Every structure is written in C-alpha cells, then in structure tokens.
Structure 1
Amino acid sequence: MPVDPWSRPSLTDLRSVLESIGKSDVNHNRNAERLELSVPAEITTSRGNTVAAVTREISRFGLGLLHKGYIQPEEVTVRMASDTREFEYRVKLEWCNPCDNGMFISGGRFITQKASAV
C-alpha cells in the first residue's frame, strides 16, 4: 500500500529528526523559554491548503512544527487539540527548512489565538 507523501509525521519521525538535529550550544537570545510539545496539528495556508503536522515546541510567542512538504513562509492558521479544548492560532510562519526523510521543520510567531471547549 503506497504511503501518502502528505500524511502527518509520526512521533517516531519527530524523535528521529530531533535526534539528528541535536541540541545546540549556541545561545539564541530567545525572549521566552521553549517547551517541548508533541501533539498533532494542522496548518492551513493562505491558499487554503491543509498540511498535517506535529508540533515540536511552543513558547509564549510562537511554535515549531514538523511536516512533510515545504510551506512558504507566510501567515497561516495552526489548529491543535487536547482532550477538552481546541486551539486555533494565527501564526506568521517565518522559516521552513528541509530535514531528514523528506520532512521539513518550520517555526513562527503567534499573531492571535482562539481557544474553544470541545
């Protein structure tokens, strides 16, 4: 059975990419602490395309994502869900770089947030 090239990366994919990247000794002078967060997400581009993703990390100001396929840096909508709430964020995707196995990591800063109970 063929694998969908746009399917959501698995947690195994995420771990593999994070291990290959490793921890950086460089001080990035970030304004907020980053927390690891691995939950399913969907990215909707300005053209209306929806890309399945997994979050990598989150801070007060933005988040990092792992997905298959390049996404043009632009304003996007990112949706995530927990057991009790759905979260929808407007994000200014600022960068998107290739990594292992045809996947990409990207990151951006929050523009606005909407949260609602399920």
Structure 2
Amino acid sequence: MSAHEDPRFQQAVDLFNRRAWYEAHDAFEEIWHETAGSDRRLLQGILQIAVAHVHLERGNLRGATILLGEGVGRLSSAKSGDLGLDLPFVREQARLRLEALQRETDPVALPVPELRDHS
C-alpha cells in the first residue's frame, strides 16, 4: 500500500490544511516511519513544511527558514499527482514564504501552504 492509500493520510492532510501544524506533523510522521522509497522523501518534505510553521508561530524565524528550505528541497523533484496531491503547488507556496524569510520580511501576507488533491 502506498502512503496516500493509508487511511491516516487524509486525516494528516486535513490537519495540515486546517493549519494544525504540530498535529499534522505527528500524523504524517507516523506514516513516514512506515514508508520506504520516494514517498518517504516527499512525506519528509511535507513534515518539514509543517514544522517550519510551528516555528513561525513560536517566533523562531531561523528554525522556520531552515525547515522551509529543507522541505522545499525534498519536494524539488515532486510532480503533480505524487501522493495523490499537487505537490508542486505546496512547494511553490512554501518557497515564496522561504524567500520572504530569507529577505527578513514577514511572510504573513503570503498564501499559507495547502495540500490540494491532484486533479
């Protein structure tokens, strides 16, 4: 069974999209520990984007910058449809927030990363 077929996967996506970052991280991490292959790298990228937002909420801009960079990097080869999601979309949203942090500007006005179904 692939990661996105796991019954816990949609719950993790829903938590991410509700901006329940810490809970989304925990949910994706459970699946990540049980996953091998290319799905594992993609799940790790999503996890890192979620944790970056935990850091943002706590005012840890350095931690947020590092984890957004790692998450974007892990999703760099993702194609639309991987994990049943539009991963290039979430990667681009995270990249824009990363660039704002790197410029030392507040990313609050930018769209928050969202996991959309691949259509």
TM-based fold match above 0.5:
no
What's the TM-score, normalizing by structure 1? 0.29
Larger Rg: 1
TM-score, with normalisation over the residues of structure 2? Answer: 0.29
